[in-house]
Amino acid sequence: MRYLLTAVFFSIMINAQENQQKKMNLKLKNELTQIHRDDQIYRELIQPNVSQEQREKVMKEKNLTKEDVTDRIWRLMDEQDDENLKKVEKIIAENGYPGKSLVGEPENKTAWLVIQHSPKIDQYMPIIKTAADHKEIPFRLYAMMLDRQLMHDGKEQIYGTQGFSSHDGEKESEPIIWPIKDVKNVNKLRKEAGFDQTVEDNAKRLYGKEFVFKNYTLEEVLKFGGDKKTEEKSLNLELKKELAQIYKDDQIYRELMQPNITPERKAEIIKEKNLSKEDVGSGLTKKMNDQDRENLVKVEKIIEKYGYPGKSMVGEPENYAVWNVIQHSPKIEKYFPLIKKATDEKELPFRLYAMMLDRKLMYDNKEQIYGTQIRSIFSTKDGKMETLSFVWPIKDPVHVNELRKNSGFGKTIEDYAKDAGGIEYKKYTLKEALELQKKK
């Protein structure tokens, strides 16, 4: 009888495991495994303790040159982060947050990791909070993202998880632990959130055994001086916060236009902006254009006062905000020299300059260089609206993928066209493109 009960018990256990696997999306699990690998691979190379063997292995896997590793590693990492974010946003739109019950562990942490490395923390924070509340991800991950959001907003963090340092494309500056709101009770809060290290021990884990933790105030972060060679001393936290809001305003209506937006996120934006059905439908483009004009007025005042607010002034990703607003404005020609200067001084990634240059050339009816711009031609046939989207003509299509790689773009022109516009790349001449424009 005992053996029969044992057999029944194991039968129940096997059936339970099989049912759990049926619920689990193994295809998505494998996709997230690869995304996690892609998120980490360039970050491996910038670790001070990476072995020469591992460095060579990564270089061979990603087909990297020595110049890629020294001069372009940050550009390559940023481009990979952008690509990962698009994949994760698509996954969330189709599945909601891919948590433990859907993909198991550790793949349930992948989407969190990609969002944590993106400029869209504010957008996805509610989804991360819900996932943590439902135990689809550990609460400590939500705590880390909350800390990062607070740091990006120029506010004190709660759990002491975020360090800060800047990079100039080759090396990082001396790090600090971002100011903590309640440093006396932070270790108690950390324990309750699921962290197994004190803030002091975690700081040493991040920055080495010799690192001495100090809780700076926000005011001290702004007033660093003396021989401390860090870029934190010039951070303008008030401006950083303003630019974070401008960036959010720049993106919010564009987000509503995305075909893969989730119903929950759509409802959240509609409520936040108090939009009517007409606003979301026929009035959405007007709303976006009005917001773009408002943003441009703000940005022009900022430029007049500070010059270009780049990485050394406001950190990342807020240094992208002004570029975004100008890119969406009719004043590219006026501010293009400023963007070029910011790029030369490493205040902006080179790929952003390349994208604006391509757009400027397209607006001037000239061939683009890097293949970043897609043109859509709208026409009416038999009373129906038709759209033709194509990559604007490229000056040197034979070598464009080499140029893209050297400029920090991770995708070939063919893959970019497919992912960005869902189109098959076709080489149009400038004459053909101009003729298409005349027929619109």
Q: Are residues 126 and 251 in the same domain?
A: no
pLDDT recorded at residue 277 = 84
Which of the listed residues 188, 206, 232 is the one where a domain comes to its end? 232
Is 390 within the bounds of a domain? yes
CA distance 185 to 60: 47
C-alpha 279 chain-centroid distance: 28
CA distance 43 to 38: 9
| 9-18, 45-54, 84-93: least confident range | 9-18
CA-nearest of 274, 278, 255 to 265 is: 255
Across 216-230, average pLDDT: 60
Q: Are residues 171 and 273 in the same domain?
A: no
Is 413 within the bounds of a domain? yes
Is 3 within the bounds of a domain? no
Is 162 within the bounds of a domain? yes
Q: Are residues 38 and 138 in the same domain?
A: yes
pLDDT at 113 over 90: yes
CA distance 422 to 258: 13
Q: Are residues 115 and 207 in the same domain?
A: yes
What is the number of domains present in the chain? 3
pLDDT at 170 over 60: no
User: Are the C-beta atoms of residues 189 and 139 closer than 8 Å to each other?
Assistant: no
Task: Provide the angle, in degrees to the nearest 10, between the axes of the packed helices 237-256 and 284-306.
Answer: 160
CA-nearest of 192, 298, 300, 309 to 245 is: 298
Q: Are residues 325 and 389 in the same domain?
A: no
Q: Are residues 224 and 253 in the same domain?
A: no
pLDDT at 5 over 60: no
Q: Are residues 201 and 247 in the same domain?
A: no
Q: Are residues 126 and 219 in the same domain?
A: yes
Q: Are residues 200 and 57 in the same domain?
A: yes
pLDDT class of 234 with cuts at 50, 70, 90: low
Give Dmax (Cα) for the chain.
Answer: 87
User: Are the C-beta atoms of residues 230 and 224 closer than 8 Å to each other?
Assistant: yes
Q: Are residues 50 and 146 in the same domain?
A: yes
pLDDT class of 9 with cuts at 50, 70, 90: very low
Report the percentage of the chain scoring pLDDT > 70: 88
CA distance 186 to 182: 6
Q: Are residues 215 and 119 in the same domain?
A: yes
CA distance 331 to 155: 33
Q: What is the pLDDT of residues 270-313, one digit of tens each?
A: 988 898 888 888 888 899 999 999 999 999 999 999 999 998 89
Is 11 within the bounds of a domain? no
Range of the domain at 240: 236-329
pLDDT class of 440 with cuts at 50, 70, 90: low
Neighbours of 163 (CB within 10 A): 15
Is 110 within the bounds of a domain? yes
Residue predicted with more confidence, 407 or 104:
104
pLDDT at 244 over 80: yes
Q: Whole-model pTM?
A: 0.59
Residue predicted with more confidence, 47 or 106:
106
Task: Name every residue whose Cβ is closer than 8 Å to that of residue 377 and which is 6 or more positions away in sequence.
Answer: 387, 388, 389, 390, 436, 437, 439, 440
